[in-house]
Amino acid sequence: MDNQMPVLSGEKATRALRVGGFEGVIVGMTGDPQGCIERDEFEAAGLSFCVDKDLPGIERVVQVLGSFALDEELEGEAGTGSNCSLPEPPVGQASPVK
């Protein structure tokens, strides 16, 4: 989820998903630096984690998507992802939201 979307901000879209009952993983992407109010509000909206729009951030998203694929393979059912745990981000590259 990009925080700078043209019609609805990522913060508002994330809040709407969470209010609507969505409990899945929501990955936020932003160019805002750590400690920036816009990023803090985006993360507080209900993101599972937030990454920067840079190469390490993209690599983190690929890593997480790979963990979903591995879970599905182990479960034997496509689309479940129920036992997926998010891999730890490289130090200073992503901000997990707890």
For 19-68, write each residue's pLDDT tens digit: 999 999 899 998 887 778 888 999 999 999 898 888 888 898 888 888 87
Amino acid at position 5, single letter: M
Amino acid at position 59, single letter: E
Residue 16: per-residue pLDDT: 95
Residue 31: per-residue pLDDT: 85
Residue 52: per-residue pLDDT: 87
pLDDT above 80 (res 84): no
Residue 80: per-residue pLDDT: 47
Is the backbone of residue 36 left (phi > 0), alpha (psi -120 to 50) or beta?
A: beta
CA 32 to chain centre: 15
